[in-house]
Amino acid sequence: MSPGSMISLSSSSLYASFILYLIAIIPFGIAVRSRKKVAVKIGMTLTVIGFLAQLNYFVFRWMAAGHAPVSNLNEFLTFFGMMLVGSFFVFYYLYRQAVVGLFVLPVSLLIIAYASMFHNDVSPLIPALQSHWLTIHVMTVAIASAVLSISFITGLIYLLKKVNTHEKSKSSFFLELVLYFMVVVIGFILVTSSFRIMDYQASYQFENMDGEMQVYDYQMPAIVLPVDSEPVHVLENSPGSYEPASHFSGGIEILNIIDAAKLNSVLWSFLAGSILYFFIRIITRKKIAQLLQPFTHKVDLSLMDEISYRSVMIGFPLFALGGLFFAMIWAQIAWTRFWGWDPKEVWALITFLFYAAFLHLRLGRGWAGEQTAWLAIIGFGTIVFNQVFVNLVIAGLHSYA
């Protein structure tokens, strides 16, 4: 089978898994509201088949590329989404809580859909990525992040059951804020897809901090631009060459330490997500938390708290191994130093220290219930910030991601 055929089969498998996960949400919802065992079986069957299809995507893409498909943001997030479903299987067969599947699948779908907004071309690895330690490091981080994300799911379920969203309180406000950020992800997917359908593209040339001319390609109209940038367009007969263009360049200029093109995508995400969020509020006349709460009425809070704690107990040592120990080995091979205070490295350390504090507060101070549910949500925030914001906005040695 040719690499092209394997890539095509890989893409079809990923699409099939996405559809199956989407359909599986329905029987899980029915199972949670009615406790019908047949609905649970249907939901689990669809999810298992979807997981196998996604695994098929991973294997065929690996065969086509000749290396593990975790070398860019698209591939990493897709693998992360797959591992989140895989982690759910482990905790489901330990605790038999269908409600976890009801919330895991939408989050996994958001991650996979978000990943699809980035380029998915199979290309040769740059020298820094040509190491088996990269594969070991990245895959371990993805698996650890997925296991830790289960604590976010169960923490969210706990809070949806426990917090009174009809009264004004800090808990009610921050719970709704968490759900707002999830709507922002949907906004990013919608706005990126819309401009992609319109085939929008604009390029801006500027002088970077090293005094070299650099070009940023925009897939959405510019809200922010590098300092002293000028609009250009690519010469079709001379790839890599540019000439002045006349398209509008009235965005806000920002310092070149920030990747303006990627920050522009983040700003568009919040703009589209905010519009979508307020549209939902106006149509339903309810907070998003209130729309989800009916699915948590039969939840056992102590069990959700137990699952949250167990997932951190498993995920934390895995993250320490992949995010710090294996990462340092790869850094030594790629850049001849174990640690360099790169933004990605710093945030991995912050994530490690946060979950260490989580376990200390749980075991040493007796924190439990609503307290650790909030910690689990903040912990997931550190993971998402590292994998999304640090990758997209802050320039560093991991910018190729």
Is residue 175 within 8 A of residue 163, CB to CB? The reply is: yes
pTM of the shown model: 0.87
Q: How far is CA 261 from the centre of its chain?
A: 19
Q: Tell me what pLDDT residue 253 has.
A: 65
Residue 1 is assigned to a structural domain of this protein? no
Residue 8 is assigned to a structural domain of this protein? no
Residue 307 is assigned to a structural domain of this protein? yes
- Whether residues 152 and 177 fall in one domain: no
- With CA atoms as reference, report the closest residue to 70 among 290, 81, 33: 81
Who contacts 185 (Cβ-Cβ below 8 Å, separation ≥6)?
Answer: 110, 114, 269, 273
Q: Tell me what pLDDT residue 188 has.
A: 85
Residue 121 is assigned to a structural domain of this protein? yes
Q: Tell me what pLDDT residue 203 has.
A: 80
pLDDT in tens, the chain (401 residues): 777 788 888 889 999 999 999 999 999 999 998 878 899 999 999 999 999 999 999 999 888 877 788 888 888 899 999 999 999 999 999 999 999 999 999 999 999 998 887 777 777 666 656 677 788 888 999 999 999 999 999 999 999 999 988 888 889 999 999 999 999 988 888 888 888 888 888 888 777 766 677 777 788 888 888 777 777 766 655 555 666 666 655 667 666 666 777 788 888 889 999 999 999 999 999 999 999 999 998 899 999 999 999 999 999 999 999 888 888 887 787 667 777 777 778 888 999 999 999 999 999 888 888 999 999 999 999 988 887 777 666 554 455 44
Q: Exposure of 217 by Cβ count < 10 A (0-12 exposed, 13-18 middle, 19+ buried)? A: exposed
Distances (CA, A) of 256 to 166, 262, 340, 388, 391: 45, 12, 21, 19, 15
- Whether residues 157 and 186 fall in one domain: no
- Whether residues 241 and 311 fall in one domain: no
Give the pair of three-digit tokens for residue 91.
Answer: 């905790």
- Whether residues 266 and 314 fall in one domain: no
* Domain boundary pick from 266, 282, 298: 282
Residue 321 is assigned to a structural domain of this protein? yes
- Whether residues 309 and 357 fall in one domain: yes
Who contacts 376 (Cβ-Cβ below 8 Å, separation ≥6)?
Answer: 151, 152, 154, 155, 308, 312, 358
| Residue with tokens 């914001």, as numbered in its chain | 389
Q: Tell me what pLDDT residue 257 has.
A: 63
Residue 330 is assigned to a structural domain of this protein? yes
Return left, alpha or beta for 285; rule: phi > 0 is left, psi -120 to 50 is alpha, else beta.
left
- Whether residues 352 and 312 fall in one domain: yes
Please give the helix or strand (H or E) that residue 206 lies within, else none. Answer: strand 202-207
Range of the domain at 138: 68-163+287-392
- Whether residues 297 and 151 fall in one domain: yes
Residue 154 is assigned to a structural domain of this protein? yes
Q: Tell me what pLDDT residue 401 has.
A: 47
* Domain boundary pick from 258, 282, 306: 282
- Whether residues 292 and 214 fall in one domain: no
* Domain boundary pick from 282, 302, 318: 282
Residue 40 is assigned to a structural domain of this protein? no
Q: How many domains does the chain have?
A: 2
